[in-house]
Amino acid sequence: MIAPHDTSPQTTLAKPSKTFSWKVRLGLVVLLAVVAVTVWQTNRLLTNRFTQSTQNRAELRLALYSGNLLSELRQNAIVPQLLARDQTLISALQSSDFSLSTQRLISFVDEIGAASIMLLAHDGRTVAATDRNRLGELHRNAPYFVDAIRSNATVFTVIEREAGGYRFSYSRRLEDTSDVLGGIVVEVDLQKFEQAWAGISDAVMVTDSTGTIVLATESRWRGLSEEDALRQQTPQGAIQRAIRATADWTALSADTYLQGEAVMRMANRIPFRGWRMTSYTTYVSVRERVNTVLALEIMGFAILLALAFYALSRKTALRMALFQRESAELRVLNARLRREVAERERVQKTLEVAEQSLAQSSKLAALGEMSAAVSHELNQPLAAMKTYLAGARLLLGRNRPEEALVSFGRIDDLIERMGAITRQLKSYARKGGDSFSPVNMGDALASSLSMMEPQLRQRHVRIARVLPDDPVFVMGDRMRIEQVMVNLLRNALDATKSVTDPEVEIILAAGETAILAVRDNGVGIKDFGELFEPFYTTKQPGDGVGLGLAISSGIVNDLGGRLTARNGENGGAVFEMQLPILVDGIEAAE
């Protein structure tokens, strides 16, 4: 009788526990079913929606690319027709005088935006071109020249390059009332569209009327058909493709496969000679967006499930301990941040003091550089004055006052030149204040040699001059040009100090630019890297501060030219000063 009374309370206490456990399990099963149904429906709806959105964007991009390509082709199609009527080019072909034709084509190419422009004579020879390296090329058998000469319309030509890719050009013949004079060829730069397409995730190709790919984001596709191009990019086998298709469970059925990836294919017709543009867009963005939403949903359900287990576990004490520990860590972090703020304020004050010291040091450095520049530029006239004064003293001692007066006159000229140099150095701080005038390069060279006469006479250097028959004029400041010439002559004299038979050759030539070359028979130049840098010199201490070539290079650059240096074929160094030549009052541009 005792056993039944003992077991009855135990049965009553265990029943609520079993009931509670059964409800928890049922709730967990229901929650998992809801999660599965929700994820499945979300995947189906979002896949359709995002795929359609991706297709719409791909169609919009394809229409935009097609419009840009067609606009570029139509823009350049009218150029040969306009240039074929240019009277200047026609006159150049009639008179065979193409001295200004290249410059005229260069002025057109920047406004037109074409890749290059060539003017061809009646025999197919390039007589003017925006790319000077192509002057003199023969295009007698080129399709764009032959078709243009035979036709009285603008001809569009696609030519395959030897290095890969294609060239696109418009051509048209030039004629007068009696005969065909030549042709004009305008190359269209369509490679820039491939470079622009390379920055997107889509694969793009353009095919001509025969189905041959002429433009593509993949360089291996050019010259192939679409089928051959895709065949190169297919997966290694059907099993691998099936595995990929099974793995991409968030995507719709693929149009084709590219590099083993399922892609959607979009095609658009370009209203130009039967061209078509095709793009391939992957489902990567669709998968990423759908998977992101699904991950958020699953994470939300996981958090909900975690919260449910947390509520059932009732571990409030552990949570409070965690909060207290985080609060202590935050207090420690706050104190550390205060210390860092104080340290940054101290460093900021130190930085301000350092900036003031640096500014003062920069001022002192600028003052030192200016003093060195003044010393270098005045050293040459002072040396010449010393020589003339010694000669005048000797002439007066020999009772030859007339010749001494000539030396005093030269000293007066040197004093005037020193004043001009100081005015020029003061003008370095303000750009654009000098007024240029035509300068005869031959006269400037004669004046520079006259200034260097004492050094030349003392060193017994043989001077060889090669001058053109006609005077050579440039637009600039004669004083500054003479300053560059004197620096070049002095460097040549210094380079021949160790030579038994010193020789300096001066050549003045006129072409597209005025070129003054100074060659010596010294040891040559060993380091070209810092040759035109300030304070760089190979001379002994006291012979120079390394500012001559730096100042000369700055002067030539201000005059629109350039100063170069190289070693001669027979030894020695060659310095060339190139300046824009002045032809009939018009300054030629290089």
Would the pLDDT of 513 be above 60?
yes
Which pLDDT score, from 0 to 100, does residue 538 have?
A: 61
Model pLDDT for residues 269-285, shown as the tens digit of each residue: 888 888 998 888 777 76
Q: What percent of the chain has pLDDT over 90?
A: 7
Model pLDDT for residues 371-430, shown as the tens digit of each residue: 665 666 677 777 777 888 888 888 888 888 888 787 788 787 778 777 766 665 554 444
Q: Give the lowest-confidence range in 159-168, 234-243, 491-500.
A: 234-243
Which pLDDT score, from 0 to 100, does residue 5 have?
A: 43
Average pLDDT over residues 434-463: 82
Split at pLDDT 50, 70, 90, the class of 368 is: low
Would the pLDDT of 101 be above 80?
yes
Q: Comparing 565 with 230, which gets the higher pLDDT?
A: 565
Q: Give the lowest-confidence range in 66-70, 422-426, 476-480, 554-558.
A: 422-426
Residues 371, 438: contact at Cβ < 8 Å? no
Model pLDDT for residues 284-323, shown as the tens digit of each residue: 767 777 778 777 778 887 887 777 777 767 666 676 778 7
**Strand pairing report for 180-188 and 166-175:** antiparallel
Q: What is d(CA 484, CA 509) in angstroms, rounded to the nearest whole number? A: 17
Q: What average pLDDT does the structure give for the chain?
A: 77
Q: Bridge-partner residues for 261, per DSSP?
A: 258
Residues 489, 452: contact at Cβ < 8 Å? yes
Sign of the alpha-carbon dihedral angle for 398, 401, 407, 412: positive
Would the pLDDT of 578 be above 90?
yes
Exposed/middle/buried for residue 369 (C-beta within 10 Å: 0-12, 13-18, 19+): middle
Residues 377, 552: contact at Cβ < 8 Å? no
Residues 114, 186: contact at Cβ < 8 Å? yes
Distances (CA, A) of 336 to 287, 342, 371, 470, 551: 44, 10, 52, 82, 55
DSSP conformation letters of 18-81: HHHHHHHHHHHHHHHHHHHHHHHHHHHHHHHHHHHHHHHHHHHHHHHHHHHHHHHHHHHHSHHH
Which pLDDT score, from 0 to 100, does residue 539 have?
A: 61
In this structure, what token pair is assigned to residue 85?
């009527």
Average pLDDT over residues 135-144: 88
Model pLDDT for residues 157-168, shown as the tens digit of each residue: 888 887 778 888
Instruction: Enumerate residues 6+ apart whose C-beta is below 8 A from 90.
Output: 174, 176, 181
Average pLDDT over residues 518-535: 78
Split at pLDDT 50, 70, 90, the class of 110 is: confident
In this structure, what token pair is assigned to residue 17?
């526990």
Distances (CA, A) of 346 to 43, 338, 339, 438: 57, 13, 11, 61
Maximum C-alpha span of the chain: 164
Q: What percent of the chain has pLDDT over 70?
A: 79
Which pLDDT score, from 0 to 100, does residue 367 have?
A: 52
Which pLDDT score, from 0 to 100, does residue 109 have?
A: 81
Residues 420, 447: contact at Cβ < 8 Å? no
* Three-class DSSP labels, 314-372: CCHHHHHHHHHHHHHHHHHHHHHHHHHHHHHHHHHHHHHHHHHHHHHHHHHHHHHHHHH
Which pLDDT score, from 0 to 100, does residue 424 have?
A: 53
Split at pLDDT 50, 70, 90, the class of 79 is: confident
Residues 273, 309: contact at Cβ < 8 Å? no
Split at pLDDT 50, 70, 90, the class of 516 is: very high
SS3 99: coil
**Strand pairing report for 213-216 and 203-207:** antiparallel
Q: What spatial distance separates the first Cα and last Cα of the chain, rounded to whole Å? A: 124
Which pLDDT score, from 0 to 100, does residue 355 have?
A: 64
Would the pLDDT of 180 be above 60?
yes
Q: Give the type of residue at 16.
A: P
Q: Comparing 248 with 358, which gets the higher pLDDT?
A: 358
Would the pLDDT of 252 be above 80?
no
Which pLDDT score, from 0 to 100, does residue 571 have?
A: 83
Question: Following CA atoms 209, 213, 216, 222 in sequence, which dihedral angle do they give, to the nearest 10 degrees?
Answer: -150
Would the pLDDT of 107 be above 80?
yes
